[in-house]
Amino acid sequence: MKHNLPPLDSLKVFESAARHLSFSLAADELCISKGAVSYQIRKLEQTIDCALFRRTVRQVYLTDAGQKLLQTTRRLFDDLGQTLGQLTPGDSQHNIYISATTYVAMRWLSPRIAGFSEQQPEVSIVLQHTVNSDDFKLQDVDITIQWATCNGKTNHNRLLEIPMPLYPVCSPEFLHRLKLDKNPAKLRRTKMLQPVFDATPLLCEDRSFDLWQAWFGEQDSPLANPRRIITDANVRTQAAIDGQGWTMADALMQAEIDRGELVAPFRHRLEGFGYVLMSPPGRYLSQKVKALQAWLVAEAG
């Protein structure tokens, strides 16, 4: 249904001028010139063919028609503001949904979120850990951090790559049991080393891509190690500390290495993998979400 209403800009200027009973104060409030206020009022009066103000040298007054229109416009603007407030989440209502594994959330994301929250304490952040589940959908969250291949390419959805080369680690006691701690400088990825690996458990996720085989070398025969599937990387890390086998580490495990709980005896690193900060395509992102995305990109840089 078509409505024969005057332009919203004219009504907005009228409401301000009528409330202040001053074209000058309305101009200051709306950040326009006094002439622009006069123009919008004249245009509105011409549109409805009715005088809204009685003008004197130093003052303007509302006519009876102006009084009626002011009451209606104020009520309509109040109703419109309340409706828009319900549709557009305010700072105190809006939640930012981030999906990341507990491993990434604890070791990379949490310290950076803390810094953001200090600057914008009114923003509520909800962490979800469903990023690796089968029913996870990128469109259901505002930000996600996923383990993925890193190819150096970013775009408006793939905001940031955090390369994390991979390498085997184990506990010092486990390395001692294998008698590989005598001269660790000589340890290499060679066929002579493979029997040692064949006899030891490899802790891993249930992935179709075999990271252990990729690290050891595609040219060598398949590794016959017993595999222990542990989905949670934090639990996998603790299992390695407890001497259950080798686990594949990245830079986020550096604290355990610095404390001597884990050792990394091999120099070789498996490149091309890491974490990717993703923005969901087709999802509305508030200014707070965009601010947090920019914050994380800057922090990583």
Ordered structural domains, the chain, with CATH: 8-87 (1.10.10.10), 95-165+275-300 (3.40.190.10), 167-270 (3.40.190.10)
- 188-209 tens-digit pLDDT: 555 556 666 667 899 998 777 8
User: Region 27-50: what's the mean pLDDT?
Assistant: 90
Which run of H or E residues covers position 131?
none
Q: How many residues does the chain have?
A: 301
Distance, CA of 246 to CA of 171 (rounded, Å): 8
Distance, CA of 183 to CA of 35 (rounded, Å): 86
Confidence of residue 123 (pLDDT cuts 50, 70, 90): confident
Distance, CA of 94 to CA of 124 (rounded, Å): 7
Query: Based on C-alpha coordinates, what's the Rg of the chain?
Result: 32
* pLDDT beyond 80 at 143: yes
Q: pLDDT > 90: what percent of the chain?
A: 43
85 or 233, which is more confident = 233
CB atoms under 10 Å from CB of 252, counted, come to 17
Q: Is the pTM here over 0.75, yes or no?
A: no
Name beta bridge partners: 98.
127, 143
90 or 160, which is more confident = 160
